[in-house]
Chains A and B, each alone.
Chain A
Amino acid sequence: MAITITVNGQQRSLDVEANMPLLWAIRETLGLTGTKFGCGIAACGACTVHLNGRAVRSCTLPVSAADGGSVTTIEGLATDGTLHKVQQAWVEHQVPQCGYCQSGMIMAVSALLDQHPNPSDEEIDAAVTNICRCGTFARVRRAIESVARS
């Protein structure tokens, strides 16, 4: 079926099965590979994108649920080549190691900070449940706090 989604500000028309997870529409149909596949059951958060400004795990969300909506992926977070403040904090604190989970981590954090510019520890813990195997959590927290303070 034809699905219309605004992806990173551009309207795109996709001819895909309605039950295809949004992740595969983004990665395979649109070719935006910054959004990652980690588990396929919405447990790890590597596939996190923004749908209408909210963080969603795209590996289990049917693409039809995004029909008519607006999706932002990691590739669309910077504006005119200037990194988003969360991306800047990630560079400043040298957060990523292997980096595979970090697109999802950054999308989860940027959605959190849009809604709670100065989140409590509990709000951070509840909103950022992405898995990182390299163990960057100590820096993730420091980077979140640096953005919240600024």
Chain B
Amino acid sequence: MGKWTRRAFIGAGSLVGGGLVLGVAGVALAPSRHSVVSDDAADKGELTTWITVTPDNLITVLVPHCEMGQGTQTALAMMAAEEMEADWSLVRAKEAPALDAYANAYILHGFIGNSIPAPLLRGFDYGTYRIARWFGLQVTGGSTAVRGTGHYGMRIAGAAAKEMLLSAAAAHFGVNASELKAGASLIVHAPSGRSATYGELASAAAKLPVPSSPAVKNPDAYTIRRTARPRFDIRSKVDGSAVYGIDFKLPGMLHAAIDIAPVYGGKLVSVDTAPAEAMPGVKRVVKLQEAVAVVADSYWHARQAVAALKPQYDDAGQSGVSSASIFAAFDKALGTAPEMPKDAATVITADYRVPFLAHATMEPMTCTVRVESDRAEAWAGVQDPLNARATVASALNLKAEQVQFTNLMLGGGFGRRLPFTFDYVDLAARVAKEMSPTPVKLVWSRENDIQHDYYRPAGMARFAGSLDKGGAPLAVRSHYAGGGDGESTFMPYAIADKKADSRNASHPIRLGQWRSVLNSQHGFFKESFIDEMAHAARKDPFLFRRDLLSDQPRFRAALERAAALADWSSPLPDGEGRGIAIAESFGSIVAEVAHVAVSPAGKLHVRNVYAAVDCGDVVNPDSAAAQVEGAIIFGLSAAMVGEITIAQGRVVERNFRDHQMIHLADAPRISVEFIRSNAHLGGLGEPAVPPIAAALTNAIFAAVGIRVRDLPIKNQDLSRRATASGAHLR
């Protein structure tokens, strides 16, 4: 890479071997007064969004986000290619290396969207970037990649690259740039019939000044975005060639299996290592403060040997903690139901409960580490390579710069592989240190994974609502325990008196971020209760909501679209019903209708789910639909059968037999429609999760009159016997 030229917050340079490299930094101050930025930003490598054009006419987009099937790398490459007027068949995507230079500048920006006044934007990006670097974050989470990195990074970088290539062509042909046209990775001078490829022009372009504010395309002119493009990662995932963290191999590598204190915070008291040491292939039994690992010549040998151990742990003083004790504490903290206006004609109250949930990614946690005297290397599939690197460094008392981390394909994330939840990386580093310099791959068993997660918080909410004589809502208030915030508790409805109060009831269970985070609980709470209010008002649940959304045109449009997709008012046979729910999260509004059938014996069958999604605009429509379909299934699995329970301070469930998931037979047909509202881009990895549980339980109520207020649904009797006994009318 040659000397950087720089202007504004975009930097460019030459590649060794020829070609153009261009990056957009989260670096800038108010442009007019300070002209730019730390003038040496580019030399320091403070550029975070990278595009290279090489003499072979290939464009490579380096994406600072991992690929876990959400289609991010393809979508971000599309955003850059669109602005470049690239030939899509000549575009590649690569994950950026785990270096500080690739810290995500845009993660906060993705959350905040366009609510920052334009003059402050660049300063904001710079500030965010410094924070991201400070904490060593290169996160894929919060549904931020497209709306943050893509919108504020890739789009700008692509537009700048195109302008530089046009300038290079103008000089090359000796013509005015306005006479040139860029398209399909080629610049054409029509009057003379001459043309040059981007690859031919790249080296010359690299020597030109970088435009400070390149013009971006009018969305109406898009030819790549808004069209379905096959994902880059699909082929390797159907022929078995994709290399996940668990597939990584090094010559001479050893394998580790582990047993971890069952109660979080518990310590290893004693273990007789002899039984394991006598087993075939075993190299060493490694005792750690909270675990015992066996290192062997194969994972199968390590697994068998660890199963032969009978380690004793203390219970960290938590033996009295159980699901019952945690929910009892929630119940107590919630106190009496919220007060309602004195003049209300009707007052209803309801309690809702949701359990802890595991992420249960299909690939168990795994990490390979090689420790040498003053350096280490690590390999895993994670949602934040920089924080994973910092975790290895911390475990080994090294500086981050002494650790090289390589990210591999992730077999699912859903929040389990986010920063500050890298216990498996930490354990792998500590085990590998004992075997230094031999590399060790630690693979968790499914039991390790289910019992040592950072769980979706259990939660409980106590609602009260009131209606006037005409059935118009006067107030809706709730107390909740288990976590919540302004976004997750937000109800869009025009009800004069709305309030949600957090109540504290702490417990020692380890918590984390689970797909859609706090919205997964509150989507169920608030959209169940508004449904109960509709029924109390004797109104159709769709029309009741719609009439309260006059001031919220985007919500109203999504709700109406979902109802139309589902043919909401058409009659259904006995035992079938439809339920509707809507929620905004991560900048996107999703309305869903579930259509269910409940047999007389109480067997639930989810026939169809219809989703209307307003995420502003869609980059890769088919891949976006796949995210919505997946989020619906993920949310349905949780609502129907998902549950982690606690007894004597530890997780009861161990594997997929007792921690259940839904299967193909349980999965509904799903129809997804996107609404192009042209609002700021919203996220898509998560926002279809929050409405689904309530859409489902509202549909069950419509079908058989049973109101499910505690998840999962598998614990409820949905049979006609239950309806007849009135047990549902608590």
Q: Does A116 contact B (CB under 8 A)?
A: no
* Size bracket of the B interface: 35 or more
Residue interface bits A92-106, CB-to-B below 8 A is 1, else 0:
001111111111001
Check A98 against B413 for contact (C-beta < 8 Å). Answer: yes
Interface presence of B629 (CB below 8 A):
yes
State whether A135 touches B633 (Cβ < 8 A): yes
B363 CB-CB contact with A under 8 Å: yes
**Smallest beta-carbon distance B44→chain A, Å:** 35
Contact of A41 among B303, B630, B656, B662 (CB under 8 A): B656
- Asked if B630 contacts A97 (CB within 8 A), the reply is yes
Contact between chains at A97 and B411 (CB < 8 Å): no
Q: Check A36 against B629 for contact (C-beta < 8 Å).
A: no
CB <8 Å contact, A137 and B410: no
Chain B residues with Cβ below 8 Å from A33 are 240, 243, 246-247, 249
Picked from B298, B413, B626, B632, the residue with its CB within 8 Å of the CB of A139 is B626
> Whole-angstrom distance between the alpha carbons of A56 and B637 in the complex?
25
Could you tell me the distance between the alpha carbons of A97 and B414 in the complex, rounded to whole angstroms?
Answer: 12
| Contact A39 B230, CB 8 Å, known A134-B630, A137-B633 | no
Taking a contact as CB atoms under 8 Å apart, the answer to whether B299 and A28 are in contact is yes
Residue B362 at the A interface, CB < 8 A?
Answer: yes
Q: Which label, helix, strand, loop or mixed, suits the secondary structure of the A interface?
A: loop
Tell me if A24 and B300 are in contact (CB < 8 A): yes
- Report the Cα distance A82→B241, complex, angstroms: 15
**With an 8 A cutoff between CB atoms, is B655 at the interface?**
yes
- B residues within 8 A CB of A41? 446, 655-657
A61 CB, nearest partner CB in chain B, Å:
13
| A133 close to chain B: CB less than 8 A | yes
Query: Which of A130, A131, A141 has the most chain B CB within a 10 Å cutoff?
Result: A131
Q: A75-B240, A99-B409 are in contact. Are A94 and B298 (CB under 8 A)?
A: no
Q: Is the Cβ of A94 less than 8 Å from the Cβ of B623? A: yes
- Interface status of A66 (Cβ within 8 A of chain B): no
User: Which residues from chain B contact A1 at a C-beta distance below 8 Å?
Assistant: none
- Asked if A73 and B626 sit within 8 Å, CB to CB, the answer is no
Q: What's the Cα separation between A91 and B246 when bound, in Å?
A: 24
| Also in contact, A98 and B412, with CB within 8 A (given A39-B446, A134-B69, A135-B630) | yes
Contacts of B234 in A (CB 8 A): 90-91, 94-96, 99
Q: Decide yes or no: A138 and B667 within 8 Å by CB, A28-B300, A41-B656, A100-B411 being known contacts.
A: yes
CB-based contact B363/A35 at 8 Å: no
User: Given that A98-B363, A137-B664 are contacting pairs, would A40 and B445 also be in contact in the complex, using a CB cutoff of 8 Å?
Assistant: yes
Report how many residues on chain A are interfacial, defined by Cβ distance under 8 Å. 57
| CB closest residue in chain B, given A34 | B240
The list of the 8 closest CB pairs from A to B, nearest first, reads A34-B240, A135-B633, A97-B69, A99-B237, A100-B411, A137-B667, A125-B665, A74-B240
Interface residues of A (CB under 8 A from B): 17, 20-21, 24, 28-29, 31-41, 43-44, 46, 73-75, 77-78, 83, 87, 90-91, 94-103, 106, 124-126, 128-141
Q: Which residues of B contact A (CB under 8 A)?
A: 68-70, 230-231, 233-244, 246-247, 249, 255, 280, 298-300, 303, 359-364, 409-414, 443, 445-446, 622-623, 626, 629-634, 637, 655-657, 661-665, 667-670
**Apart from A102-B238, A129-B664, A141-B669, what 11 extra A-B contacts exist at CB < 8 Å?**
A36-B246, A73-B240, A77-B239, A91-B234, A100-B361, A125-B664, A131-B362, A133-B361, A133-B661, A136-B630, A139-B629
